[in-house]
A and B are shown apart, each in its own frame.
Chain A
Amino acid sequence: MVTTQNPAAPPALSLPATPPRRRPRATSGSGRLAALLVSPTLLVLAVVVLYPTIVALKDSLYGTPGLNPKTGFVNETDPFVGLQNYGAIFGAAGARFWNAFWNTTFLTATTVALETVIGIAMALIMHRAFQGRALVRASILVPWAIPTAVSGLLWRWIFNSNGVANALTGQHILWTTEGFHAKLAVIIADVWKTAPFIGLLVLAGLQVIDKEVYEAARIDGAGALRQFWNITLPLVKPALLVAVLFRTLDALRMFDLPYILIGAQKTSVETLSMLAQDQAANVRFGPAAAYAVILFVYVFLIALAFVRLLGADVVGDDGPARPRRRWRSHRRTEVAA
């Protein structure tokens, strides 16, 4: 066990880049073991997600019961309408749907891009900082730890017409009215809240990188930028990708923040989740479920694309060899030699 404690041990650097000879041994009986290890997770998810999802799928095929004009009461049973709810979303409610679709896509793309850049920067700084490390760690947790509802209220006041945002910038912008400024307010608040999420995960990714890799790179005369691009980024890539993936999925379902900060039914920031919520709030569970299913499909396609495109880094072994790995294998041979 002593060898394992030595971070300088050469094997510590080998990453699954070379075709592993070890496979036969490591995988003996692994099918059954894998089934055993994976099944509790799948079971829990089946209960809490699969079942409600199936219910929602079924609901999306039913319409909203009408009012019986004689009694004045709403009919007891929901009429089966087939795919009409979906038809209505793309037909009659099309303009509102596509507006929400583009808002969702735009807000997701901008917030996730900004969060990734800021998150990586935070992680790099935190990784380097030795003095004041605890302070940085503590402060980075703060935005992420404040409940969304509370931070939504906080930002609503900051962006009030008499709020501190206008006071500081000397402007008089009515942030909660329709327009690009409303989108901007949501982006600012969301990036503030969730950049730490990416920062924390990337930091953890940085911490498991062996210091030796950098030494070797420096010996090779690699500059800071090249080190970052050729070593740091590829090595934190799995952690970073997972962080970005989950941020993307979360951002695509964005609801509370625009709802609290800007308000319901504001065309500038209405997202797909807000549409689903709006239908459900007006007791139209069929259309609400249909919106949820469409959102689900959209999010799923994006996740699938992630897994396909970047799968090798996250899922693992069966993807094509990544060109960036070159550096690592190159370096390993050097050390070994």
Chain B
Amino acid sequence: MKSRTIRALQGAGAACAGLAALAACGPGGATTAGGRPTFEGRGPITYVAGKDASGSIQAVIDRWNKRHPKEKVTFVQLPTDPDAQREQMIQNAQTKSDAYTVLALDAVWTSEFAAHRWVDRLPEEQFPLRQMLKPIVETGKYRGGLYALPFSSDGGMLYYRTDLLKKAGIAEPPATWAEMKADCAKVKRLPEARGMSCYAGQFQKYEGLTVNFAEAVNSAGGVVTDAKGNPHVDTPQAKRGLDFLVNSFKDGTIPRDAVTYQEEDGRRDFQAGKLVFLRNWPYAYPLMAQKDDANKVAGHFRAAPLPGLNGPGASSLGGHNLALSASAENKATAIDFMKFLASQEIQRFTLSRAPGAPTYDALYKDPKLVKQYPYLPTLKQSILHAVPRPRVFRYGDVTAAIQQQAYAALTGSTSSAQALKDLQQTLRQQAAGE
């Protein structure tokens, strides 16, 4: 495994050596223009993140350490649970510790970390942001300033069964919810579709529900919060979005069990041949493509952009960005390392090892990568139409309120109108309290 890593890196290395050398050797690397804080100090630093699934991060860090023996990077691995990651990072900030230098922040934490000044504002002009997809760059910004450098992204897609759709005489994947339901009705008339359900997403009461709720609202033309953080969930558009989910539960389009589903539950059902359509992230693609006796969909599925009310829907954005802990030392080294880690070449390398959503436009067109991950062009469309989840500094409260009301509506304990009315009120109170 190691030798493969090194070999793969050699190709990437040649390209990014120039990039890193530019940043690391120039004296300008340590200071920024415009009276903004300077990033000084060189020496050992840490990179703090949950375990990276592909196992390629350590190889990338080794590569850096070989070239920068006096500015070594140590990988501080946090628990896999995102809440635990966030808590550890906040603890580090509270104790003003220098143990953490470069943080891998979940895209939705940017505002909170920036507003508390736990992370430094970054020198925007030093990063190749223009080569990245714009909605992704926005996830790293707070009030116009860049606080987190886009490192990886994620977007939702509609996985569908090509074999069943074809048999039912459907040529194109559905672009709207109505089409999806109609397609389902046709598919379910097939003998091999007996007992199948139509659609599932993530509806357990957790962050995934916020994602699915926001996608439904956005796909119906509504917004959860506007650019200033003000809530708008009591609109007819928002209601049509939530009603799609609520009614789908009622009429059985979504199986009743899905109210307990996270990403993996839906993927398992899809692979077991229980679902015609599934909303999920790109990570599922290679798993579904794996030939295996327990996997019924290998070679019989594809991914399309999410459907919406009157046309293609809008995805939420996931992913992780790189931020610089305010209490860290050796910040000049840290900035260089962030440039290195977020470079196109490194992303190409990590993507070649594990599925994901790169931040660079060019990688979505790369023929080799597209061959490896046929979902890339679809994902790019998904991300270009994506609406970020609410960008407010108390994101935890906002997502809790959304989950509370959306879950109540989906389980039928309140009507969607009442749930949205209550949600609007809670979100407005939260916004006023800020």
Contact = CB atoms under 8 A, between A and B. Distances in A.
Interface of A: 66-67, 69, 72-74, 160-162, 174, 176-178, 263-266, 278, 281-283
B394 interface: yes
B143 A265 contact: no
Interface of B: 83, 86-87, 90, 112, 114-117, 142-143, 204-206, 256-257, 259-260, 265, 268, 393-394, 396-397, 400, 403-404, 411, 413, 433-434
Contacts of B87: 281
Contacts of A67: 115, 393, 434
B258 to A, nearest CB: 9
B90 A283 contact: yes
Contacts of A74: 115-117, 393
A265 B403 contact: yes
A174 B257 contact: yes
Contacts of B259: 174, 177
A176 B115 contact: no
A172 to B, nearest CB: 8
B83 A72 contact: no
A178 B116 contact: no
B411 A178 contact: yes
A266 B433 CA distance: 24
A264 B257 contact: no
A160 B115 contact: no
Nearest to A267: B404
Which among B114, B116, B411 has the highest number of chain A CB atoms within 10 Å? B116
Contact of A282 (B142, B206, B396, B413): B396
A240 B394 CA distance: 47
Given A72-B143, A161-B265, A283-B396, 13 more contacts: A66-B434, A73-B115, A74-B117, A160-B265, A161-B260, A162-B257, A174-B256, A174-B260, A176-B204, A263-B206, A281-B396, A282-B397, A282-B400
Nearest to B86: A281
Nearest to A283: B90
Contacts of A176: 204, 260
A73 B434 CA distance: 11
B411 A177 contact: yes
20 contacts: A66-B434, A67-B115, A67-B393, A72-B115, A72-B143, A73-B115, A74-B117, A174-B260, A176-B204, A177-B260, A178-B411, A265-B400, A266-B205, A278-B400, A281-B83, A282-B394, A282-B396, A282-B400, A283-B112, A283-B116
A264 B205 contact: yes
Given A72-B143, A178-B411, A178-B413, A264 B393 contact: no
Contacts of A72: 114-115, 142-143
A163 B142 CA distance: 43
Given A161-B257, A282-B397, A263 B143 contact: no
Nearest to B400: A265
B142 A265 contact: no
A160 B90 contact: no
A91 to B, nearest CB: 14
A298 B403 CA distance: 30
Contact of A263 (B205, B394, B404): B205
A62 B423 CA distance: 28
A312 to B, nearest CB: 44
